[in-house]
Amino acid sequence: MSPRLFGVVALLATVIIDQSDKLWMLFVYRISEHQPVHLGPFLDLIVAWNPGVSYSLLRATSDLERYLLLALAFAAIVLLFVWLWRARSRTTAFALGLIIGGAIGNAYDRWAYGAVADFFRFHVGDLSWYVFNLADVAIVGGVALLLLESLFPTAFARPKRQEDPVLSD
């Protein structure tokens, strides 16, 4: 499978998994009626609507601000997709597919609901420092993979195929 196709498959899988999780949590399980659901001593399921980007930075409180965030997301998606299309390694393409898929999932939320739906809350006691969704996991995973690939290029390099020896008389 070419790197380009590999990245597009990762992108589509990310969007489908992210949006399926969000639809199930919001409309089937109805997390807002059950929250918080304690999954462990440091992890709960809740619903939190994030009108901004990471850690609620650049909060969009008006339609104009929301559309500006959507335009920024669209521009980033286009640029990342160009990078994916030119990627020569499957690792790079996979990482970019995760990032783009996560960005599309969160942008769709912002367009459809006015904010991004987050469900997973890390905490220690009452100190809560991060609420996220599967799109965020994909974005962070993709960025981490790109960083690892750039720091350790030989670990991610494909082994070269050996040529068949040419028999000579």
Residues 6 or more apart whose CB falls under 8 angstroms from that of 142 comprise 94, 95, 96, 97, 98, 99, 102
Q: What is the mean pLDDT of residues 105-119?
A: 95
Catalytic residue among 44, 109, 118, 169: 118
Catalytic residue among 18, 44, 109, 136: 136
Position 133: which residue type?
A: N
* Residues 98, 138 contacting (CB under 8 angstroms): yes
Cα distance between residue 151 and residue 140, in whole Å: 16
- Higher-confidence residue of 145 and 164: namely 145
- Higher-confidence residue of 8 and 51: namely 8
Q: Is the pTM of this model over 0.75?
A: yes
- Using pLDDT thresholds of 50, 70 and 90, give the confidence band for residue 153: confident
DSSP 57: -
Cα distance between residue 148 and residue 145, in whole Å: 5
96, containing H or E segment: helix 90-113
**Among this protein's residues, is 118 annotated catalytic?**
yes
Confidence (pLDDT) at 127:
86
Distance in angstroms between the alpha carbons of the first and the last residue of the chain: 37
Which tokens sit at 81? Answer: 């997709």
- Smallest CA-to-CA distance from 87 within 146, 137, 141, 147 is with 146
- Using pLDDT thresholds of 50, 70 and 90, give the confidence band for residue 65: confident
Percent of all residues in the chain with a pLDDT value above 90, rounded to a whole number: 75
Residues 6 or more apart whose CB falls under 8 angstroms from that of 76 comprise 103
* Residues 100, 11 contacting (CB under 8 angstroms): yes
Question: What crossing angle do the helices spanning 3-23 and 134-151 adopt, rounded to 10°?
Answer: 150
